[in-house]
Amino acid sequence: MDTYSLGRFPVHRIGFGAMQLPGPGVMGPPRDHDEAVAVLRRAVELGVDHIDTAQFYGPDVANELIHEALHPYPDGLALVSKVGAVRDEQGGFVPAQRPGQLRAAVEENLRTLGVDRLAAVNLRRMDEHELPADQRIPLEDQLAELVGLRAEGKIAGIGISTATHAQVRQAIEQAGIVCVQNAFSLVDRSDADVLDLCHDEGIAYVPYFPLGSAFPDMPKVTDNATVRSVAERVGASPAQVGLAWLLARRDNVLLIPGTSRVAHLEENMRIADVSLSATDIEELEGGA
């Protein structure tokens, strides 16, 4: 499997996202605890050395499962988390964007994962218009807090998530970020300019919603007729085609597809073997 560098960590291009491990709505215990643990162990066995998580997945559930399944962690495993939100009792995502809240979230991630340092932490930005006044924090102040945490050795790299082209540019200049985590897939290519910027700057681009969102009522790559037809022709599943297209798009793309099922994990890990021709790619981009 090819690698790309996530700051100082050279990681395989197919990683794993832990968001599907907690229960429905990313809240509470998993549907099947033993399978969640098995998914994580199998992922590492198959070469995953980059796991994306968040303390607010569960909350705590994803991090505790990662700890249970994999601690003591293998050398070179990059654990990446995100900060900027907490959960309310109904499972709602509540903004927690103030510098002190970002620091507290990093500390919580270190504690629940049982590590002294995270490979990277993504600052999960939120739409300013949807934030209460006390949560509208200048990006500069948020990045300064993360730069401080990096200087203290609590995080090795800084990332930014759900960020515009201008915000990514600012984060590169102010904080020397190592990754950007934005939504991008065959059915939503609106972030292509940020992907290109990251490529030119040598920064990892980690698409979330790589198959479209797991949340209801959002378009799914696997439902797309063109994806399904190309998949049949190349002898792969629609999910594999959607992921292989992302890998083919740019060499700085690091995938973190998530699943709660060992069978889906194994299918997703096999995409390194799916090769898409220029004609396949043209058809996918024209039809999806």
Ligand X SMILES: NC(=O)c1ccc[n+]([C@@H]2O[C@H](COP(=O)([O-])OP(=O)(O)OC[C@H]3O[C@@H](n4cnc5c(N)ncnc54)[C@H](OP(=O)(O)O)[C@@H]3O)[C@@H](O)[C@H]2O)c1
- Just list the catalytic residues: 57
Q: Indicate the pairing of strand 120-124 with strand 158-161.
A: parallel
**Of 124, 42, 36, which Cα lies nearest the Cα of 84?**
124
Q: Rule CB under 6 A: is residue 250 a binding residue for ligand X?
A: no
State which amino acid sits at residue 222: T
Please identify, using beta-carbon distances, which residue of 12 and 286 lies nearer to ligand X: 12
Q: What is the DSSP letter of 167?
A: H
Please identify, using beta-carbon distances, which residue of 91 and 279 lies nearer to ligand X: 91
Q: Rule CB under 6 A: is residue 170 a binding residue for ligand X?
A: no
Residue 85 main-chain phi, psi, to 5 deg:
-150, 160
How far, in Å, CA of 182 to CA of 212, rounded?
Answer: 12
Instruction: Indicate which single residue of 6, 12, 13, 20 sits in contact with ligand X (rule: CB under 6 A).
Output: 20
Instruction: Indicate which single residue of 11, 14, 19, 105 sits in contact with ligand X (rule: CB under 6 A).
Output: 19
Where does residue 133 rank: exposed (0-12), middle (13-18), buried (19+ CB within 10 A)? exposed
Please identify, using beta-carbon distances, which residue of 103 and 264 lies nearer to ligand X: 264
Q: Which of residues 206-245 bind ligand X (CB under 6 A)?
A: 208-211, 213-214, 222, 239
Least distance (Å) between residue 247 CB and ligand X = 14
How far, in Å, CA of 66 to CA of 126, rounded?
Answer: 26
Neighbours of 98 (CB within 10 A): 17
Please identify, using beta-carbon distances, which residue of 32 and 152 lies nearer to ligand X: 32
| Residues binding ligand X (CB under 6 A) | 17-20, 52, 82, 122, 124, 161-162, 181, 208-211, 213-214, 222, 239, 256-261, 264, 267-268
